[in-house]
Amino acid sequence: MAGDLLGLDGWADGKHRYDAYALSDGELCSINVKQLHTAMKLDPAVTMIIEQLMSYALNCTQDHIFSLSTHSAEQKLAYFLIEYRNRLDHLDLRNTTIRLPMSREELRSYLGMTLETLSRSFTFLENKGYIAVKNKEVSFTDLDQLEALLEPSD
């Protein structure tokens, strides 16, 4: 999405361990790491921006790992839908309906579950009245309850 940094995995040793796939059309700006280091030395504001972006990327990764390791299948899907909606909102693209940015197979892989479990999770959230799904379009019918699904139970 807009504002995402790619290639951070190679910052430490110059070796990239991951591939990135565009889920939609967009623009990419390539920055030479040596030039970036020079800019960071010359301008503390550039350093601060890069540190904030890297911290945000790290937080997103940690949140995703936490969700994968602690949430039920339904909670993983709810978490993904809410976070994706929030990211669109940050880009001023909020709507009551979102279009899934990936296929069910890609989403299944991202959430660490089988296709059948993903399908059951969508059905569960729909039957509860939290969302409505039509193909790749997801409408939020009860966002408060969807968010409550992620709250720890006592």
Q: What is the pLDDT of residues 22-76, one digit of tens each?
A: 777 788 888 888 898 999 999 999 999 989 988 988 888 898 888 888 899 999 9
- CA-wise closest residue to 6 among 92, 111, 16: 16
Q: Are residues 89 and 133 in the same domain?
A: yes
Q: Are residues 59 and 79 in the same domain?
A: no
The residue that leads in pLDDT, 154 or 56, is: 56
- CA-wise closest residue to 115 among 60, 77, 85, 143: 77
Indicate the SS3 state at residue 30.
coil
Q: Are residues 57 and 76 in the same domain?
A: no
In sequence order, the 6+-apart residues with CB closer than 8 A to the CB of 132 are 126, 138, 139, 141
Mean pLDDT of the residues in the chain? 88
pLDDT at 97 over 60: yes
131: domain CATH number is 1.10.10.10
Residue-number span of the structural domain to which 102 is assigned: 72-148
Total count of domains within the chain: 2
How far is Cα 125 from Cα 134, in angstroms, rounded to an integer?
13
CB atoms within 10 A of CB 22: 8
Find the helix or strand (DSSP H, E) in which 119 lies: helix 115-127
State in Å, rounded, how far the first CA of the chain is from the last one.
36
DSSP-assigned beta bridge partners for residue 137? 99, 134
Determine the average pLDDT of the residues in 123-129. 97
Q: Which two tokens stand for residue 47?
A: 């350093």
Does the CA dihedral 36-91-87-1 come out positive or negative? negative
> Which pTM value belongs to this model?
0.79
Q: Are residues 45 and 100 in the same domain?
A: no
Question: Which band of pLDDT confidence, cut at 50, 70 and 90, is reported for residue 101?
Answer: confident
**pLDDT for 86:** 87
